[in-house]
Amino acid sequence: MTVASARDVGVTHASGFRAAAALARPTALAAVVVVYAATLHAVYTGLISGPFAYAGYTVVPQPWQDQVLATLVAVVVALLLPARITRASDIVLWMLFGVCVAPAILMPGYTGYLTSIEAMRFALLLATAFAAAAVAVGWGGDRVGSEDLQQAPAVDGGGTALDTVRIGSRVVDRNALAWVLCAVYSAATYGVMAVTTGFSLHFVALDDVYDVRAAYADDLSAGGPLGYLLSGQAYVVNVYVLIRAFARRTWPLVVLALLGQFVIYTTTGFKTVLFSIPAMVAIAVVLRRRRPRSGAPLLLGPVLLMLVSAGVDLLQGSITWTSLFSRRFIVTPGLLTSVYADYFSDHPVALWAKSFTRLWVTSPYDVTPTKTIGQYMLPGSQVNANANLFADGYANLGTVGLFVIAAVLAVWLRCLDRWSRGVPASVVGVLVVMSAVTLSNTSILTAMLSHGLLVGTVLVAVMPRRGWRWFDRDAGEGPPA
């Protein structure tokens, strides 16, 4: 063999390896989506639909061709999501896909509310809207990760030091500003809480939370700001105190943040507050590495959640954990999306007339879309059937509403990326994940105002860029906490 022919063989082998590597990611991701779809179908049809059929969790046989096509649509959407997690928006997009969009694409064909053609049509519309949002977020933007920013000069575009922010003519230390905002917000939340509901320090078992929640709802019935403050405190402010104190090894503040979460849980009975801490730990551990990580682990998370919950319930002969995790966080968004699509395809859209357009638009309904759907599923009930941001868009503006909400989502995510420049993506992910997850069961406006999404976005914009070494091993140590 001549030198030239040996070189040609080497080039051929290198090209083959590159081609194999290029195919490895889409193949692995497609396999994850297939496993996700199969797990979701098995859990819903085998464990959930029977015990909860009375509440509208119905199931019908789905032709295998439709199931394959819906899974293929979900695979295509997954392939259009960011291949590597380098920005905050990447985390939010993958989380929304796993707990909201994928179930809404996969489930309409077997919940019984839509015909096969209607289910596929809606799945394609939703997939197109979400994929458009994902593409718009990355379009023309820098794929700059925290690692690259740590190697850049420690100044912003205006020549201001990286851990300071210019407010008017003044340069303010980000670390101090973030602590002041957290202190003011916490004083407001716990102060209003003290005079509205009081505090409870007795641990509440999971079986007893509904009584506590009912008492909390009664306390809020007179109105007041607590309903707007509480989620921002639990999902954002306490989380910031916890992760900043942990990163800086300030253990008294770690204890204080955990105590703050405990008080909110025992006073309100909100299980998401209790489970938010392990969820955030899992996100931080998954994303903590030098090299940008694939989004596939964030999609495997819901699969493991469904499998572990089902396994524990099968061993115990119950449905408790599947209902608590799989039904609430994954199945219900998919189910209710198909119900919303069914109802508002044949009835007038709501035009947000019970929300921000109420001053100049007359609603065709006496109640909100969530209560309208609750009465549709359970006649005579007063159930609030809260669905996800895309179902809300469809309820209020039909097909156009899907794309309007996708545009709003894209704008918010681009702002989040811009304002979080210099903060490790894992830190921003932990800080906004719980508020972002609420988008799977509420509108984006409600998530902004009542579930901490706006608070989290503001805090991300002003928080320090240094001192996050545990979360990003390339990050600088920064000043003391």
Across 54-77, average pLDDT: 96
CA distance 386 to 391: 9
First to last CA, the chain: 66
Q: State the pLDDT at residue 150.
A: 44
The token pair at 295 is 């989004």
Regarding whether 433 and 296 lie in a shared domain, the answer is yes
pLDDT at residue 41 is higher than 80? yes
pLDDT band of residue 193 (cuts 50, 70, 90) is very high
Regarding whether 200 and 96 lie in a shared domain, the answer is no
CB-neighbour burial class of residue 134 (10 A; exposed 0-12, middle 13-18, buried 19+) = buried
In a domain, 152, yes or no: no
- What burial letters (b/e) apply to 280-308, b meaning 16+ CB within 10 Å? bebbbebbbeeebbbbbbbbebbbebbee
pLDDT at residue 200 is higher than 50? yes
pLDDT band of residue 241 (cuts 50, 70, 90) is very high
Regarding whether 130 and 60 lie in a shared domain, the answer is yes
Regarding whether 423 and 302 lie in a shared domain, the answer is yes
Regarding whether 227 and 188 lie in a shared domain, the answer is yes
In a domain, 226, yes or no: yes
Regarding whether 320 and 190 lie in a shared domain, the answer is no
In a domain, 256, yes or no: yes
**Closest residue by Cα to residue 433 from 453, 407, 404, 403:** 453
AA letter at 160: T
What count of residues does the chain have?
481
In a domain, 466, yes or no: no
Regarding whether 184 and 87 lie in a shared domain, the answer is no
- Which percentage of the chain shows pLDDT scores above 70? 87
- Which percentage of the chain shows pLDDT scores above 90? 62
- Which of 32-41, 268-277, 459-468 is least confident? 268-277
75 vs 425, higher pLDDT: 75
Q: State the pLDDT at residue 187.
A: 97
Which of 272, 287, 302 is the endpoint of a domain? 287
Across 465-471, average pLDDT: 83
Kindly report, residue by residue over 121-133, the tens digit of the pLDDT: 999 999 999 999 9
Regarding whether 443 and 314 lie in a shared domain, the answer is yes
Domain that includes residue 89, residue range:
3-145+292-450
The token pair at 49 is 């639909």
Domains in the chain, number: 2
pLDDT at residue 77 is higher than 70? yes
Regarding whether 273 and 171 lie in a shared domain, the answer is yes
Q: What is the mean pLDDT of the chain?
A: 87
pTM of the entire structure?
Answer: 0.89
Regarding whether 301 and 283 lie in a shared domain, the answer is no
Regarding whether 60 and 188 lie in a shared domain, the answer is no
Kindly report, residue by residue over 308-329, the tens digit of the pLDDT: 999 999 999 999 999 989 998 9
Regarding whether 205 and 56 lie in a shared domain, the answer is no
